[in-house]
Amino acid sequence: MTTLLYLAWLGIGLALLLVLLLGRTRNANLIFFAGILFVSGLATPLSLSDIVEQTFWLPVQSRRSELFLAFGLMGTAALLLQSRRANRVDLSLASMFYFLSLLYAALLRGYHEGALVLFESTVFCVFTVIPLALWSSNYVQSPNNLAIIQRVILLVNILTIGFVAVQFVQDSSMLTLGNANRFRGLLSNPQHAGVQFALFSASALWIMLHDKARYFTVALAVLAVNGVLLLWSGSRTSMAMFLLAGGVIAYPRLGRQAIYLPLFGLIGFGVYSIVTTKLGVDIQTDRLAAGGNTRSEAWRMLIRQGVNNPLTGVGVGDSEKSENGWLYGFATYGIGMLAIQLIWTAAAIREILVLVRRRNRFAPEIRPTAYYCIGILLAYFGGAVFEGYLISRVSTPMCIAFLAFTLTLLLRKTADVGSVQPSKKPTTYPHASYGA
């Protein structure tokens, strides 16, 4: 990406900002999150020989970074306008060290690739990660607001499925990679697509269980489609992530909601049958049951690269594998990156343990939020053992993780002042706010 493109998308971002912020500023927060979450699920599609695939959505997919920055600028400006009502910025320790790790990656990327890349990477990090870390603390004044955010995630999920459907009609072969025809969606890698839909599925399941009044049927249908796409990706890591997050999310309601599991399976089987028989798509799921070890050699290679270049790593361009978030950070950016990652991982684990220990102190109406955060963060770090998204500057896991970190801080503050009694109207709790 050139500096000229950066400046062009800066202008687009500011134009969007002026249009949106002339209205309700809080809505701009949701639009920012929806936009940046959707764009995080795009990537330039490459073949196994690194040739760009001419997909229907290539003009959008190939401009992922520019679009991500444009929405980031909108979010940054929204935060600045709202900061007039702010006394302090309240951010979790995990979020702060996560941001530091991404900023460190931007600086080291400049070291490896030159001064221009240093400038561009730093600007990109500051104007995308900061609003991503702070938007939810500015918007969420109560754990009850998670329902609204989950509906936004569901909407992005539906939009992504719609884009996939258009590509399927235009040329379904562009949705797959390799001889195994593994689904990669709007991304470049089946593993990335699997992780994306695993996190989407966790949100759809949460809505199905806890926001049933209006959205149960929609969430159920979306979850069934997600299940088929998740199977199609052939990603064992992604399937494990969904089962882990979904199990924790469903735990409080599993007894009463077990009756819906066969219904979900029936709908999922129906969608699977239509796709495979009527539409003639070859969805191979053999890899999900395969017992082969596809990670050990990659881990050894990452360790070897990191040990041979301990201070600065080898850079993104020379990293040969990415099958572990921490080792990928070590190999790419050196021991400093690994140290920062371990600190923020420890901080996040502490937040998870606090939620687990205090879960019974939460009012029943906000307890589902606690279980969502626990499930998402467990899945996030569990998946990072096998995937390299911890240092990615544009990814769906990053967007969801920052949301979960903010919610854990809000929940911890809520528990610190005791349980909150249920009420028909949303209650304002002590919150991590950019404007308190």
**What's the pLDDT score for residue 416?**
60
Torsion of CA 251, 256, 262, 267, to 10 degrees: -90
If you compute the radius of gyration of the chain from its CA atoms, what whole number of angstroms results? 21
Higher local confidence (pLDDT), 329 or 254: 329
Higher local confidence (pLDDT), 432 or 86: 86
Mean pLDDT of 121-132: 91
Tracing tokens 């993104």 back to the chain, one arrives at 316
Q: Which of 18-22, 99-103, 214-218, 321-325 shows the lowest per-residue confidence on average (mean pLDDT)? A: 18-22
Cβ pair 391, 333 in contact under 8 A: yes
Cβ pair 103, 40 in contact under 8 A: no
Task: Please report, as a single letter, which amino acid is at residue 431.
Answer: H
Mean pLDDT of 5-20: 60
Cβ pair 55, 174 in contact under 8 A: yes
Measured between alpha carbons, how far apart are the two ends of the chain, in Å? 38
Q: How confident is the model at residue 204 (pLDDT cuts 50, 70, 90)?
A: very high
**What's the pLDDT score for residue 277?**
60
What are the DSSP calls for 127-139, one per residue? HHHHHHHHHHHHH
- Burial of residue 12, with CB atoms counted within 10 A of its CB: 0-12 exposed, 13-18 middle, 19 or more buried: middle
Q: What ranges do the domains of the chain cover?
A: 164-292, 294-417
Q: How confident is the model at residue 46 (pLDDT cuts 50, 70, 90)?
A: confident
Highest mean pLDDT among 69-78, 189-198, 247-256, 273-282: 189-198
- φ, ψ for residue 282, nearest 5 deg: -90, 100
Highest mean pLDDT among 66-75, 121-130, 138-147, 212-221: 121-130
Residues 237-285: pLDDT tens digits? 898 899 889 888 888 776 555 445 546 655 665 666 666 566 655 555 5
Cβ pair 156, 37 in contact under 8 A: yes
Does the pLDDT of residue 55 top 80, yes or no? yes
Q: Which of 36-50, 118-132, 163-177, 239-253 shows the lowest per-residue confidence on average (mean pLDDT)? A: 239-253
Does the pLDDT of residue 8 top 60, yes or no? no
Could you tell me the CA-to-CA distances from 265 to 137, 180, 227, 262, 285 in Å, in that order?
36, 24, 9, 5, 16
387: which 2 tokens?
């995937």
160: which 2 tokens?
């992504």
152: which 2 tokens?
């936004």
| Neighbouring residues of 115: CB distance < 8 A, sequence distance ≥ 6 | none
**What's the pLDDT score for residue 42?**
94
**What's the pLDDT score for residue 139?**
74
Cβ pair 395, 380 in contact under 8 A: no
Task: Please report, as a single letter, which amino acid is at residue 315.
Answer: G
**What's the pLDDT score for residue 419?**
43
Mean pLDDT of 118-127: 91
Does the pLDDT of residue 222 top 80, yes or no? yes
Q: Which of 9-13, 206-210, 318-322 shows the lowest per-residue confidence on average (mean pLDDT)? A: 9-13
Mean pLDDT of 19-24: 54
Cβ pair 59, 42 in contact under 8 A: no
pTM of the model: 0.84
Q: Rounded distance, CA 100 to CA 116, Å?
A: 20
What are the DSSP calls for 190-258, one per residue? HHHHHHHHHHHHHHHHHHHHH-HHHHHHHHHHHHHHHHHHHHHHT-HHHHHHHHHHHHHHHGGGHHHHT
Residues 376-389: pLDDT tens digits? 999 999 999 999 99
